[in-house]
């Protein structure tokens, strides 16, 4: 069963980039204004802040805020691994460190070309890190999960297991309760004691719902 993720195109990503760029400029301007009153030491701190804003702004938000910087959240998109799982530190660091290649030779030309040529709309950093940018599936029609409360998965899953769980969540409302419980019981070797309701919660989480314990 194929895992379906609504990938975000160039327009949504460009709007998010502009919003994030504006936020970075405001932060840098405020830092410069404050540090201008404390001499050379202040300018040293300002340059350190500039470095952090340019290199770690995206990483921190992507890892700690469910894959979304403020710009991405504004247009309802986020970064995930190509298999749909949440992006981690290594993936986010790699995709953002390679951002300077995407920006060449100016105005993100290489990155835009890569997005337009890739079937999953991946820029060079995404290709290297194995990530994609997707629309939030909980706001994107067609998941079939409705308002199911997401429940975080706390055991390691293979890609096939993740796909099977999401597929179950999408189809559960079309099957009777007995069939749902029968299918859920097949995953007892993975989760232990599991029922259909909890499995649907795991499916919602894997499909992009807000993470809950």
What proportions of the chain, in percent to the nearest 5, are helix, strand and coil?
60, 5, 35
Q: Based on the domain organization, do 145 and 92 belong to the same domain?
A: no
Residue 4 located in a structural domain: no
What number of helices (H) and strands (E) belong to the chain?
11, 2
Give me the domain span that covers residue 152.
138-213
- Residue 140: its pLDDT value, please? 45
- Residue 141: its pLDDT value, please? 46
Task: Count structural domains, the chain.
Answer: 2
The CA distance from 77 to 61, in Å, is: 13
The CA distance from 204 to 1, in Å, is: 16
Q: Based on the domain organization, do 207 and 177 belong to the same domain?
A: yes
Q: Based on the domain organization, do 202 and 145 belong to the same domain?
A: yes
Q: Based on the domain organization, do 150 and 119 belong to the same domain?
A: no
Residue 2 located in a structural domain: no
- Residue 1: its pLDDT value, please? 38
pTM comes to 0.61
**Quick one: which of 61, 64, 48, 49 has its CA closest to 17?**
61
Q: Based on the domain organization, do 94 and 48 belong to the same domain?
A: yes
- Residue 27: its pLDDT value, please? 81
CA atoms within 13 A on the CB side of 204: 22
- Residue 94: its pLDDT value, please? 93
- Residue 160: its pLDDT value, please? 74
Q: Based on the domain organization, do 154 and 180 belong to the same domain?
A: yes
Q: Based on the domain organization, do 80 and 36 belong to the same domain?
A: yes
Q: Based on the domain organization, do 146 and 108 belong to the same domain?
A: no
Tens of pLDDT along the chain (213 residues) come to: 345 567 888 889 999 999 999 998 888 788 778 777 776 666 777 777 777 777 788 999 999 998 999 999 999 999 999 887 888 999 999 999 998 898 888 778 998 999 889 888 899 999 999 999 998 855 444 455 667 788 888 888 887 788 788 878 878 877 888 888 888 888 888 888 888 888 888 888 887 655 444
- Residue 142: its pLDDT value, please? 47
């Amino acid at each position: 069963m194929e895992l379906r993720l609504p990938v975000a195109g160039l327009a949504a990503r460009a709007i998010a980039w502009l919003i994030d760029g504006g936020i970075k400029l405001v932060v840098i301007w405020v830092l410069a204004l404050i540090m201008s009153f404390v001499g050379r030491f202040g300018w040293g701190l300002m340059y350190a802040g500039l470095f952090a804003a340019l290199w770690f702004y995206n990483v921190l938000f992507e890892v700690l805020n469910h894959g979304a910087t403020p710009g991405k959240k504004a247009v309802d998109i986020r970064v995930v691994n190509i298999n749909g799982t949440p992006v981690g530190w290594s993936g986010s660091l790699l995709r953002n460190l390679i951002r300077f290649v995407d920006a060449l030779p100016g105005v993100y030309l290489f990155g835009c070309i890569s997005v337009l040529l890739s079937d999953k709309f991946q820029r060079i950093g995404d290709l290297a890190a194995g990530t994609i940018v997707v629309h939030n599936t909980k706001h994107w029609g067609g998941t079939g999960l409705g308002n199911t409360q997401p429940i975080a998965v706390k055991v390691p899953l293979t890609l096939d297991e993740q796909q099977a769980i999401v597929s179950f969540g999408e189809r559960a409302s079309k099957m009777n309760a007995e069939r749902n419980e029968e299918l859920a019981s097949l995953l007892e070797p993975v989760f232990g004691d599991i029922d259909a309701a909890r499995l649907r919660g795991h499916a919602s989480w894997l499909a992009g719902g807000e993470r809950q314990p």
